[in-house]
Amino acid sequence: MRTFLRRLRKTNKIAYFSFWILVLLYLSAVFADLISPYPYDLQHRDYPLCPPTFLHFFDKEGKFHIRPFVYNMKLVNPSLNTYEIDYSKIYHIKFFVKGPKRKILGIIPSERYLFGVEDGGKIFLFGTDMHGRDIFSRILYGARISLSIGIVGVSISFLLGLLIGGISGYFGGKIDTFLMRVVEIIMMFPSFYLMLALRAVFPTNLSSVQVYLLIVVILSLIGWASLARIIRGMVLSLKEEEYILAAKSLGLSTPRIIIRHLIPNTFSYTITALTLSIPGYIIGESALSLLGLGIQEPYPSWGNMLSVTIGNLRILTTAPWMLIPGFFIFLTIISFNFLGDALRDILDPRKW
Partner 1 sequence: MKRYILRRLIHLVPLLFGMTFISFIIIHIAPGDPLTKLKMNPEVSPETIELMKKTFGLDKPVIVQYFYWLKNILTFNLGESFTYHVPVSSLIKQRLVNTISLSIFSIFLTWIISIPLGVYAGLRDKRWQEKLLSFIAYIGISLPSFFIAMLLVFFAAKTMVLPIGGTRSLFSENLSIFARFMDYMRHLLLPGLSLTLAGIGSLYRLTKNNFLESFNSPYVVTAYAKGLPEHKILFKHVLRNAINPLITIFGYELSGILSGAALVEVITNWPGMGRLILEAVLSQDIYLVMASLLISGILLILGNLFADIMIAFADPRVRLR
Contacts with partner 1, residue ranges (CB under 8 A)? 181-182, 184-194, 196-204, 279, 283, 286-287, 290-293, 306, 309-311, 313, 316-317, 320, 323, 326, 329-330, 333-334, 337
Q: Which is nearer to partner 1, 238 or 306 (CB)?
A: 306
Shortest CB 335 distance to partner 1, Å: 9
Q: Which is nearer to partner 1, 93 or 164 (CB)?
A: 164
C-beta of 349: minimal distance to partner 1 in Å? 21
Choice between 36 and 148, CB closer to partner 1: 148
**Closest CB to partner 1 among residues 117, 179:** 179
- Name the H helices within the chain: 2-11, 13-30, 32-35, 135-171, 173-187, 191-200, 208-240, 242-249, 254-256, 263-290, 302-306, 313-318, 324-346
Beta-strand relationship, 56-58 and 108-117 = unpaired
Q: How far is the CB of 192 from partner 1 (least distance, A)?
A: 4
| Minimum separation from the CB atom of position 203 to partner 1 (A) | 8
**36: number of Cβ within 10 Å:** 25
Q: Residue 132, exposed/middle/buried by CB under 10 A (0-12, 13-18, 19+)?
A: middle
Cβ-based neighbours of 123, under 8 Å, separated by 6 or more? 37, 53, 70, 91, 93, 115, 116, 117, 134
Q: Which CB sits closer to partner 1, 185 or 259?
A: 185
What whole-number distance in Å separates Cα of residue 111 and Cα of residue 218?
Answer: 38
Partners of 95 in beta bridges = 115
Q: Least CB distance from residue 287 to partner 1, whole Å? A: 6
The CA-based angle 28-274-265, given to 5 degrees, is 130
Task: Pick the closer one to partner 1 by CB: 90 or 331.
Answer: 331
Please report how close the Cβ of residue 281 comes to partner 1 at its closest, in angstroms.
12
